[in-house]
Structures are given as structure tokens and as C-alpha cells.
Amino acid sequence: MNIRLLLFQFIIIPIFIFVFPIYFAMSANLDTGAHVEIKKFKFVPQEITIKAGTTIRWTNKEKRQYHSVWFEKLGEPEPEYFFPDEFFERKFTKTGSFPYRCGPHPEMTGVVHVK
């Protein structure tokens, strides 16, 4: 059997069938979210406007401090704290303005506007 045919059947075709769809699915999901960083005891940006269906990722960029993202006014319990280089995510499906704060640091506040 021809080596080129074997190469094509067992290497090239599987790459197109299995690797490329996974790669494109993953790269498509990377751009659908929004990001908020936590640094120097602030949410940056403090206010963010997104479309319904968007997921926001809050990333803790502090060196030693833990934080939370608590939507207290919605009547929700405070979520678990997350530590430096960890993150918290939330998907917003309804329109409106959603204020939040850091549980252990109530002076840290932010607002998510969903259109």
C-alpha cells in the first residue's frame, strides 16, 4: 500500500475530523464573555454593560487577598470566596441593572447592566 495513502487516511483525515472542530468550538467560546479584574480592592471596571446571555468572569488579581462577588440585593447567599489567580463566573440571562459587592469588603462595589 502507498505510504501517502496511509498517511492521509490515518493522520490527515483524523486531524480534520477530531482536532479542528474542537479547536474552533473552544476559540468561539473564548470571545463570548466579559471580564472584570479585582485589584487593589476594586472591581475593574466598576460598571460593565453586556448583552443578555453573556457570562462575566471576575478574576482575582490581588497578591494575597480573597474576595467574593455577591449579588446581595437579589436575595442570594454569599458565594464562596476565591483567592489570587482564581475566578468566579456568572451568566446573565435577564435584562436590568444588577449591583454587587465583595462580601468581606463591603466598600468594594460594582454594577452589571444587562441590555
Task: Note whether 51 and 23 are same-domain residues.
Answer: no
Q: What is the pLDDT of residue 3?
A: 73
Task: Note whether 39 and 11 are same-domain residues.
Answer: no
Task: Note whether 88 and 110 are same-domain residues.
Answer: yes
- CA dihedral in degrees (91, 93, 97, 102; nearest 10)? -20
C-beta atoms surrounding 110 within 10 Å: 21
Task: Note whether 89 and 60 are same-domain residues.
Answer: yes
Task: Note whether 19 and 8 are same-domain residues.
Answer: yes
- The pLDDT tens digits along the chain (115 residues) read 677 766 567 776 666 676 556 555 554 444 568 999 999 999 999 999 999 999 999 999 999 999 999 999 999 999 999 999 999 999 999 999 999 999 999 999 999 999 9
Q: What is the pLDDT of residue 19?
A: 57
Task: Note whether 39 and 82 are same-domain residues.
Answer: yes
Task: Note whether 45 and 101 are same-domain residues.
Answer: yes
Task: Note whether 81 and 67 are same-domain residues.
Answer: yes
Task: Note whether 24 and 80 are same-domain residues.
Answer: no
Q: Is there a contact between 71 and 37 (Cβ–Cβ < 8 Å)?
A: no
Task: Note whether 23 and 37 are same-domain residues.
Answer: no
C-beta atoms surrounding 89 within 10 Å: 11
The whole domain housing 9 covers: 1-31
